[in-house]
Structure 1
């Protein structure tokens, strides 16, 4: 019996190698947000997390500016470690912000709270976009190989190949859009999560976004004159 063609579906085609710089810019933006948060909302010394993230980002961007099939395992592990650090730091900042708001007599102004919550919310969008990009079908390097692997996210172009250029494959900006829509609407929009881990990640992102908007922003508006 003839085996199924690896190019019989849009997601069965090997994607072209993807440049790292869009994701690197997103990481740099998240790093800036974390570096400009009020010190009371940062885990440990304010300089420590941004310096650690920068120490991981620079080698990855210099050594492997393009994500291609067969890249070294340490590159992928370094990328996952970088995302995890950003995620933990942002979750810690949100927890500290909620704790601070629940303390009686907190003296933060509405503008300070709105600014801090906006930075945490935007970092949340970036970090989950990075997770989706790095994990879907095994990551950019696996998507660039010819190994057929079922997708974790179903983009509209996969179900309607005629609506996309030949050889289309999702890139970082597509995952950034998915993360932004999920954070804004608390729903996946037009891109469906297919695997359990993808659904759990989107649930975690929506919950974090809801907590930031509903609790922090509402308190900030209540403090406004």
Structure 2
């Protein structure tokens, strides 16, 4: 009788790699609305047009995406990215105009009673600076949250400490990580534990530090001298 050869057991098929999770997107939306609220309470002489205008424009842009998510028909990642850059354009323009107007109207504010208002305005603009650039870092790093998830949250435009080993623990950067990056850049005028890798990241950090330095040294310093 012919011997029957036993076939070797089939090698197990590898499971398809599951894409990494996308960090929650609603936090950045809330941060954008917080900027609009902070801008709305700025003095009218610091804003170009009504101070509430950026907040209204933000709501108009955010509403379609929020509605689509609520009815379980979310917008595509490409559409969300376009809307995100529209929001960044509005917030960045409003911030820069506010800083320029504060500088140009500074010589007129020399009385003691103006000092508290000047400090309050400088603080609002400084916080707005942190929010705006936190949003920029969140959106440009690795070309946005969806692309970062596809790439397994590897270091792209910024290198977080958790990514130094190639992100072997599948760490996911959330918006608060980029907000902390914006905070350290605005208060220390340099990166702390997170390093910019790309030219666009370095350029953005330089702009944020320049705005923060202007607010901290010129505007708030002038208010203290008035006191």
TM-score band (shorter)? 0.7 to 0.9
Contact 2:130 2:183 in 1 (8 A): yes
Contact 1:137 1:143 in 2 (8 A): yes
Whole-Å separation in 2 of the counterparts to 1:90 and 1:137: 25
**Partner SS, residue 182 of structure 1:** helix
Which residue is equivalent to 2:220? 217
**Partner SS, residue 143 of structure 1:** helix
Q: Output aligned runs, 1:1-225, within 5 Å.
A: 14-64=19-69, 71-103=76-108, 109-146=114-151, 151-160=156-165, 166-224=169-227
Contact 2:61 2:83 in 1 (8 A): yes
**Partner SS, residue 19 of structure 1:** coil
Q: Deviations over 1:84-124 (max 9, x none)?
A: 10011011011101111034757861110111111100010
Which sections of structure 2, spanning at least 5 residues, go unmatched?
1-17
Whole-Å separation in 1 of the counterparts to 2:59 and 2:176: 21
Whole-Å separation in 2 of the counterparts to 1:182 and 1:146: 26
Deviation at 1:15, TM superposition (A): 3.4
How many aligned positions are there? 206
Deviation at 1:24, TM superposition (A): 1.5
Whole-Å separation in 1 of the counterparts to 2:190 and 2:108: 32
**Partner SS, residue 40 of structure 1:** helix
Aligned CA distance change for structure 1 residues 64 and 185 (closer, same or farther; 3 Å): farther
Which residue is equivalent to 1:10? none
Deviation at 1:17, TM superposition (A): 1.7
Deviation at 1:181, TM superposition (A): 0.5
C-alpha RMSD of the superposition: 2.4
Aligned CA distance change for structure 1 residues 105 and 214 (closer, same or farther; 3 Å): closer
Aligned CA distance change for structure 1 residues 107 and 85 (closer, same or farther; 3 Å): farther
Aligned CA distance change for structure 1 residues 181 and 147 (closer, same or farther; 3 Å): closer
Which sections of structure 1, spanning at least 5 residues, go unmatched?
1-12
Which of 1 and 2 has greater Rg?
2
Contact 2:153 2:173 in 1 (8 A): no
**Partner SS, residue 110 of structure 1:** helix
Whole-Å separation in 2 of the counterparts to 1:190 and 1:77: 30
Q: Which has the higher contact order (CA 8 A, sep 6+)?
A: 1
Deviation at 1:22, TM superposition (A): 1.1
Which residue is equivalent to 1:9? none
Q: Which stretch of the first structure deviates more once superposed, 186-195 or 102-111?
A: 102-111
Whole-Å separation in 2 of the counterparts to 1:152 and 1:63: 30
